[in-house]
Amino acid sequence: MRIAQVSAHTSPLAPLGGRETGGMNVYVLELSRELARLGYEVDIFTRRDGDLPRVERVAPNLRLVRLDAGPPEPVEKEEIVACLPDFARDMRRFTHSEGRGYDVIHSHYWQSAWAARAIARHLRVPHVVMFHTLGEVKNRARISEHEPARRIRHERAIARRATAIITASSHERQLLARYYGAREAQMHTIPCGVDINLFRPHDQRSCRRQLGVDPSGPVLLWVGRLEKLKGVDILIQALAELDRRDFTLLVVGGDERAADLKAELQAQAAEAGLAANVRFVGAVPHDELPVYYSAADVCVVPSYYESFGLVAVEAMACGTPVVASRVGGLVSTVIDGVTGYLIPWRCPGPFAEKLEVLLHNPELRANFSAAARRSVERFRWESVALRVGAVYDQALADYRAREVEGGFGAEVYEAAVLAGGLR
């Protein structure tokens, strides 16, 4: 089976921790690697944003294909829509130049799905979608979020017309049904994966020495894209309520486009008297993250929303307890009172309370650590890829068994996308 993975706005090979690079990049790359190991032929399509080869072989059976769509330089995610008609046209050209098509188109994020729908129609193959985040849900999670109505409108159209939708959690599945009208029969809940050979416990003291962190005091960790939805401000407020000041907080993630938010958070830490305690590390390569997780006593995930919560799973794979918001997919990944704590209120007090409990109780941390490592066995990439492969099989069978829905006007949709319409 030949699979086209579509990730229009960000390349899976881009360095992690930037504004547009995070869990989705990891998911697309690692899922594709595992599918390739299982014998699928996989091409990942992304937009060219630099002087890089059009086709790059990533592994046996796996290629990255860069399409010409818009200027060959980084473009803000919000502006990618203008590039999508060119993206769809070039993907179509590339497929014709190869002289062979794909059995399934699997798109990631709404913009990719917007273009991939036209290609799936042209090739007469099923379109499998994974949204990763949802505009309507982000707007409801935090009052100052303002995802555009255009995004939500297209997400609804895509959700109703995709052959199949993969959700990372049962919570996301419920939200797609409630806010987007997705059909139950369309949806398949498969958690994201983690490389448990890469993400495994390391000696804490040696990791702290490697990072230049005081080996004697508590170490807290936050990892992710530096954006307001991730709740770092809540974490800093919580730390200001702790009864000790011998801790270090490592904030891992963020690039130059997050400079303003970083400055705000640094000012907040200084005002709280924590300037010496909070260390902004910036983005680090993905394969170096296990050192940070293993150096920490607790990983904190105070997000307003997470569709899955990959950081929490990576931390637990390294034996690090997690204190996280009780939101989205985190409810399915963190076992409250067993591998960490889930905080039902997005305010600093409850976070501070649970951090105090863990930092003052090394035996409890050790119990959580052992349970955390055991809990991630279910997220092995091989089992995730096998389940996704089963969705491809079912989607292909369903597609062939019935005529693809009209409604939105399939041929009209394809023509409009390729012509640059549907703004």
Give how far Cα 279 sits from Cα of 165, 227, 275, 314, Å.
Answer: 39, 17, 8, 21
Which pLDDT tens digit goes with each residue over 97-142?
Answer: 999 999 999 999 999 999 999 999 999 999 999 999 999 998 988 7
Residue 198 lies in a domain: no
Structural domain that includes position 180: 2-193+381-419
Residue 310 counted as domain residue: yes
> How many CB atoms are located within 10 Å of the residue 355 CB?
25
Centroid of chain to Cα 199: 17
In order, the DSSP letters of 156-196 are HHHHHH-SEEEESSHHHHHHHHHHH---GGGEEE----B-T
The two tokens of residue 75 are: 């473009």
CATH of the domain at 171: 3.40.50.2000
Q: Is residue 263 part of a domain?
A: yes
Greater pLDDT, 144 or 158: 158
Residue 403 has pLDDT above 80, yes or no: no
| The predicted structure's pLDDT at residue 346 | 80
Mean pLDDT of 378-394: 97
Same domain for 13 and 34: yes
Same domain? For 177 and 126 the reply is yes
Please tell me the total count of domains within the chain: 2
53 domain residue, yes or no: yes
Question: What pLDDT is attached to residue 20?
Answer: 56
State how far the alpha carbon of 170 is from the alpha carbons of 184, 219, 410, in Å: 11, 32, 29
Is residue 103 one of the residues assigned to a domain? yes
> Is residue 126 in some structural domain?
yes
pLDDT of residue 412: 42
Name the nearest CA neighbour of 236 among 211, 207, 272, 208.
272
| Same structural domain, 260 and 301 | yes
